[in-house]
Amino acid sequence: MAVSLRLPEDLSLRLDKLAKKTGRTKTYYMIEAIREQLADLEDLYLAEKRLANTQSGKSKTIPLADVMREYGLEN
């Protein structure tokens, strides 16, 4: 899918330099950056949602000792 993106000049220049130095395309680096950032954003959203559920009482925590015992990981 094609997407149009207007980059600030400083980012565009950095991207141009990186692409020229490495012989890869600017598109390659844009996709890599989005892929990495998107994974981080997904993790952040999930963590914030779970924290909110725990704070509101919708979810409960399990003590680490209980988890360790359940999976046979006690020392």
pLDDT in tens, 27-72: 999 999 999 999 999 999 999 999 999 999 999 999 999 999 999 9
* Long-range contacts (CB closer than 8 Å, 24 or more residues apart) made by 55-62: none
DSSP, collapsed to helix, strand or coil, labels residue 39 as helix
Residue-level length of the chain: 75
Q: What is the pTM of this model?
A: 0.62
Burial-class residue 38 by CB neighbours within 10 Å (0-12, 13-18, 19+): exposed
